[in-house]
Amino acid sequence: MPARRLAWWLGLLVVIGCGRLDRAGQVSNTTASSRTSQEEARGYPYKIVTTCGMVTDIVRQIAGDKAEVTGLMGEGVDPHLYKPTRNDVRELMAADVVFYSGLMLEGRMGDNFTSLARGGKPVYPITEEIDPDYLREPPEFAGHYDPHVWMDVRAWSECVSLVAKVLGEYDIANADFYLINAARYQQELSKLHEYAKQAIATIPEDRRVLITAHDAFGYFARAYALEVRSVQGLSTESEASVQDINNLVNFIVENKIPAIFVESSVSEKNVRAIIEGAAQQGWKVSIGGELFSDAMGKPGTYEGTYVGMIDHNVTIITQALGGEAPKLGLNGKLQP
């Protein structure tokens, strides 16, 4: 375990077990008094506004009942193309804290975030503390990083730490509460990460090729040892050419790929064209299922959480490509 992470966990254990102590080893009355004053001064729940569902879900996990978290982008919404409405702008202006993913995922909202920050509002991209050496920078996205970090559970877990830190600085009285929530949630994410590694490893090596509508699975492929191919580039604003589709059809036929995948927030048009092209060459490729890429499932469902989204993707991919995974996923909660 890296020294920085070990120190963070040790500090958390002290907080959980002992509270904050003064030099005499007693709970500081001054600290307790300041927390009480802040509790009385701040209205609870305070208001947090977030962008895409993946950000919204982890912020809710950490904020708990201390804040009301409003996500601007719902089920099936493509953040690459999203343009804020007047109501969204009002929500952002009324927020006490704003979180977004960053790395240009919400490219059309950049001016809004800049304006809010200049006005003194706490506005944070939750990916800002990820080591740049970790981030993917594909040639076709020259000068910009791949924003789909949530596809690597271990990396997304680092964003949880930033959320806990930011909320602890904003709401000092409940800093320990946010740290405890973060530690609990990161344990859950650690189990999810291990499940993904183990499930994908059961797919026969010659079938570990993931073909999707757009290039949202690069981090997933790198973290869980898959090759990934897609019709469109990193952003759904890009257009697939006829040559792109033909090249992918030839690859599928030559390598006898059994299944390709559609995405909940991306049109199926190009995927259908690939299936038809393969059929014309005498190879039947099926749709392995619908994956969640830039948006999660329906609100109120297991798939409408970050854990459920990744559990669904891992389980569907594993089963469709010939591996072994529980029918209802890691936690037995996937919709049959």
Q: What is the CATH number of domain 28-195?
A: 3.40.50.1980
Q: What homologous superfamily is domain 197-320 in, according to CATH? A: Nitrogenase molybdenum iron protein domain (3.40.50.1980)
Query: How far apart (Å, rounded) are the C-alpha atoms in residues 299 and 54?
Result: 12
The answer to whether 173 and 227 have CB atoms below 8 angstroms apart is no
Assign 19 a pLDDT band (cuts: 50, 70, 90).
very low
What residue spans define the domains of the chain? 28-195, 197-320
Residue % of the chain over a pLDDT of 90: 69
SS3 state of residue 125? strand
pLDDT at 16 over 60: no
Closest CA to 99 of 57, 38, 41: 57
Assign 197 a pLDDT band (cuts: 50, 70, 90).
very high
At 98-134, the pLDDT tens digits run 999 999 999 899 999 999 999 999 999 999 999 999 9
Biggest CA pair distance of the chain: 80
More confident residue, 329 or 272: 329
Closest CA to 78 of 237, 230, 215: 237
The answer to whether 156 and 150 have CB atoms below 8 angstroms apart is yes
Q: CA geometry: angle at 186 spanning 261 and 123, to 5°?
A: 85
At 235-267, the pLDDT tens digits run 444 566 788 888 889 999 999 999 999 887 566
Query: How far apart (Å, rounded) are the C-alpha atoms in residues 194 and 208?
Result: 17
Residue 335 phi/psi, 5-degree rounding, is: -70, 130
Query: How far apart (Å, rounded) are the C-alpha atoms in residues 272 and 268?
Result: 6
At 28-73, the pLDDT tens digits run 333 444 445 545 556 899 999 999 999 999 999 999 999 999 999 9
**Measured between alpha carbons, how far is residue 189 from residues 223, 230, 249 in Å?**
14, 27, 36
Helix ranges (DSSP H) in the chain: 3-18, 29-41, 53-63, 86-94, 110-118, 153-170, 175-200, 218-224, 242-255, 269-280, 306-320
Do domains 28-195 and 197-320 share one topology? The answer is yes
Across the chain, mean pLDDT equals 86
At 220-240, the pLDDT tens digits run 999 999 999 887 644 444 566
pTM score of the predicted model: 0.84
The total number of residues written for the chain in this structure: 336
Strands 286-291 and 209-214: unpaired
Closest CA to 202 of 60, 57, 319: 319
